[in-house]
Amino acid sequence: MAKRKSSKAEFIKFFGPVLDALRALGGSARPREIASWIGENQNLPDEILNEKYEKSGQLKFPNQIAWARQYLVWEGLLDSSKHGIWALSELGWVTFLNEKQSYDIFLKWVKVFQDLRQNKDSIEQEEKVIEKAIETAESEEGQSVVKPSLLEVLQSISPTGFEHLCGRLLKEYDFENIEITQRSNDGGIDGYATLKLNPFVSLSVFFQCKRFQGTVPTEKVQAFIGVMETNKRSVEKGLIITTGNFARAAHEIEKSNIKLELIDGPKLVEMFEKKELGVIPKTIFDPDMKFFERYREMK
């Protein structure tokens, strides 16, 4: 039998951290919140957080987190998500996993699916199935879990078109008086808007749109703050909206500046999906493997 490139699929090491993150976040959270928690608490470097698949250019880390979540759902440790929220089950609250236990869960479900397709097979065939499962989980095809197609569409739009599209999205979130600036005169500001909080209070908002496929340079974030502070218009909030991602240093700047809000590609996709803007919702039914497990070998 040919030697595997790796004895373990990389995403398995995130089984335990996903459970830990959800416990720390109150039992439920969105995928990007979980990924952010894991990145910070495991002190993952930007090279890991922003590593991409060679062919598609999609981020690898969120994809690995999504694969970890799928196995945890099958194991009954997470509840199935219906609205993009991941939640711990009662068993998940009290389960703590090390890498060995996580790998055992992975092997268990590989064997379950092998039995469903091929019944009982030889040990050699079983090893081949496990190897194939690892290769598939770590391949670009595995990205179907995180549905990158909308992000690819957003990245294909012209820069001017993306600015106007961001203005359209802000309208869906109750922003008013949307104004897209002339590109030659924007000084780093692509648009202005007003967000009415109540009949008495409104926020003046600047926004900048970056149609990126990679990481927005942190110096661009710093420059945007400088433009906000020196612009002749007063501003209470500044948004940087990108189809790419931000380095950890940029998120640290965001935490220390109450006026700044960073919206990266995954968060942008969530915003479009929540308002069903430019997307067609579909209902897909997948078998609940935990439910059927009790019946599989019943005599």
Q: Check which CATH number belongs to the domain holding 239 and give it.
A: 3.40.1350.10
Domain presence at residue 243: yes
Residues in the chain: 299
The DSSP code for 59 is B
The continuous run of DSSP H or E covering 162 comes out as helix 159-172
pTM for the whole structure:
0.65
Please check whether residue 24 is in contact with residue 88, taking contact to mean a CB–CB distance below 8 angstroms.
Answer: no
Same domain, 257 and 196: yes
10 Å Cβ neighbour count for 64?
A: 26
Residue that is last in its domain, among 146, 165, 197: 146
Domain presence at residue 120: yes
Beta strands of 80-142 (E only): which ranges?
86-88
Residue 143 is predicted with a pLDDT of: 45
Tell me the residue range of the domain where 26 lies. 10-146
The angle that helices 149-156 and 265-275 make with each other, rounded to 10 degrees, is 100
**pLDDT < 70 stretches in the chain:** 1-8, 56, 81-83, 116-149, 182-187, 296-297, 299
Residue 95 is predicted with a pLDDT of: 95
Distance between CA atoms of 88 and 26, rounded to whole angstroms? 9
Domain presence at residue 290: no
Same domain, 212 and 138: no
Residue 134 is predicted with a pLDDT of: 55
Which two tokens mark 114? 């092998």
Domain presence at residue 295: no
Question: How many structural domains are present in the chain?
Answer: 2
Same domain, 200 and 79: no
